[in-house]
Structure 1
Amino acid sequence: MSSVLYDAQGPRAKRRNVLFTVVFLVALAALLWWVISTLNDKGQLEWALWKPFFTGTEAWSTYIWPGLQNTLKAAVLAVVIALPLGAALGIARLSDHQWVRVPAAIVVEFFRSIPVLVLMIFGLALFAEYTDVSSDDRPLYAVVTGLVLYNASVLAEIVRSGILSLPKGQAEGAMAIGLRKGQVMRLILLPQAVTAMLPAIVSQLVVILKDTALGGAILTFPELLASANTMSGYYGANVIASYTVVAVIYIALNFALTSFASWLERRLRRAKKSTGAVLSADDVETADAGTVGKI
């Protein structure tokens, strides 16, 4: 039996795929065994190295929780600023006025071409040279600035492509009934484009969350990953244990974010399907009678 996308597998193809699956699982099991045995030989699986994370709260309250708070603070600030700024730049790139469209395009292409780490370093230097921000707060300001400038430019392209992906008839029909350009964008195009853009936007939000670690590695920003380095030194060089716990926290945060986005996307799609008005039988008969009367 065939489908539109592929032909059904024959007996030889099924046997070959089963063989490949078995070989892959065996190779994966061998790799996991090698990793675990190597860690065990190096003493990285000793209970003493993992004990601080399971038998007390000192590691969590002193290192992990403060680092997680700083990570979430920087990520939330960057998201709150970058989302509306990216939307504004994306809409500006679609403007009919050249004096709006060209500067927006220059800003987007410029900051999208620079690595986010370079933007953070420049931000730190600018805050140190031209502002009165204290040395304790400069890393946070620099991290947020770099994340906002870079990710707002990327989000602007997501917004622009999402709006351009809509059929032209949407805008033409709205303008035909008398809506202005601003109303067409706000009431017709953006609500429809949000659902299409949501997966890409969420992917960029995950990038923002992970890129906060660059501030800890270079700018001494005390975020979650930087706290793992300090924590591993305090508990007797339990590097593997510390970074494993931090990696699990990052995975949990990103999984929660993507799960929420998937739920929101499904809800938006259901809402769009159920926006039509439901007419009763009496309403239909009244409408038909009115139509017949006009004829």
Structure 2
Amino acid sequence: MSSVLYDAQGPRAKRRNIIFTVVFLLALAALLWWVFSTLNDKGQLEWALWEPFFTGTEAWSTYIWPGLQNTLKAAFLAVIIAMPLGAVLGIARLSDHAWVRVPAGIVVEFFRAIPVLVLMIFGLALFAEYTGVSSDDRPLYAVVTGLVLYNASVLAEIVRAGILSLPKGQSEAAMAIGLRKNQLMRLVLLPQAVTAMLPAIVSQLVVIVKDTALGGAVLTFPELLASANTMSGYYGANVIASFTVVAVLFIALNFALTTFASWLEARLRRSKRGTGAVLGAGDVDDINAAEVGGPHKTDGV
């Protein structure tokens, strides 16, 4: 059966697709068997290497849990600083005033062009030379600094793009009834843009969680991935087992984050369904009065 988007497949096309599917599944099964047999030949599937993660709590309490705590701490600090900073920079880039728009654009483009690892290294040197932060805390400060500077710049572009993606009629209608620029941004544009931006924002939050591993690889920050190196050496070079457990934890963490974001996006979309009411000039006067604490008339009304 044909549709507007595609034509129905004929008998030859169906047979060809079945053949391609079977070949792909056979190739995938062969690849998995090769990986399994290689690991088995190298002794990486022996129960002794995997036993610490399933019998006893030493591996979890000594290595995995402290590393996971540091990962979550760095990611949490980076998120709560980068998100409002990115929102401010993104809105500043849309300002009508060049003295606000140009500096914000320079900051965003500068830090967005520098690799986050370089920012972390510079942050570590900065805290070592010009602050009294202890050597034990410097890696955490450097990781958070690098993540904030880079991801705030990326989030600023997400915010700017989300606002610009809204129809111009939204702004024109709001200005026609007398809303000021800040009211237009707070009451009309941002509430709608947040829902549209949410998938991109969540993707960037996942990047923040994963990029904490750069601090462990270069700055000796004791996060989750760094704990796998120490743990694999302690338990007899069980590298595959240790990194598999850590990878599963990262997958579970990011999956929980994206699942929560999907739920939040659906809830926001349901809560923002319009009632069909039309906002008039009298309603704008009520908004202005509520904001300044008294009656206020808009210009031209």
TM-score by length of 1: 0.92
Deviations 1:169-226, CA, capped at 9 Å, x for gaps: 1011111111110011011001101111111000000000000000000000000000
Q: How far apart are 1:273 and its partner, in Å?
A: 2.4
Q: How far apart are 1:7 and its partner, in Å?
A: 2.3
Corresponding residue for 1:287? none
More off after superposition, 207-216 vs 1-10: 1-10
> Given residue 221 of structure 2, which amino acid in structure 1 is its aligned partner?
F
Deviations 1:244-267, CA, capped at 9 Å, x for gaps: 000000000011111111111111
Corresponding residue for 1:76? 76
Corresponding residue for 1:40? 40
Q: Measure, in 2, the Cα distance between the counterparts of 1:54 and 1:250.
A: 18
Q: Measure, in 2, the Cα distance between the counterparts of 1:93 and 1:25.
A: 50
Q: Measure, in 2, the Cα distance between the counterparts of 1:158 and 1:251.
A: 24
Corresponding residue for 2:122? 122
Deviations 1:62-108, CA, capped at 9 Å, x for gaps: 00000000000000000000000001000000000000000000000
Corresponding residue for 2:135? 135
RMSD: 1.0
Q: Measure, in 2, the Cα distance between the counterparts of 1:13 and 1:273.
A: 44
Corresponding residue for 2:290? none
> Given residue 175 of structure 2, which amino acid in structure 1 is its aligned partner?
M
List aligned pairs for 1:19-34, cutoff 5 A.
19-34=19-34
- Is 1:196 the counterpart of 2:191 in the alignment? no
Q: Measure, in 1, the Cα distance between the counterparts of 2:100 and 2:11.
A: 61
Q: How many residues align?
A: 277
Q: How far apart are 1:274 and its partner, in Å?
A: 6.0
Corresponding residue for 2:247? 247
Q: How far apart are 1:5 and its partner, in Å?
A: 3.0
Corresponding residue for 1:293? none
Q: How far apart are 1:276 and its partner, in Å?
A: 5.2
> Unmatched 5+ residue regions in structure 2?
278-301
Could you say what secondary structure the match of 2:155 adopts? helix
Q: How far apart are 1:275 and its partner, in Å?
A: 4.7
Corresponding residue for 1:112? 112
- Is 1:226 the counterpart of 2:226 in the alignment? yes
Q: Measure, in 2, the Cα distance between the counterparts of 1:184 and 1:253.
A: 37
Q: How far apart are 1:270 and its partner, in Å?
A: 1.5
TM-score by length of 2: 0.90
Could you say what secondary structure the match of 1:273 adopts? coil
Q: Measure, in 2, the Cα distance between the counterparts of 1:13 and 1:204.
A: 40
> Unmatched 5+ residue regions in structure 1?
278-295
Q: 1:275 to 1:77 in 2, by over 3 A?
A: farther
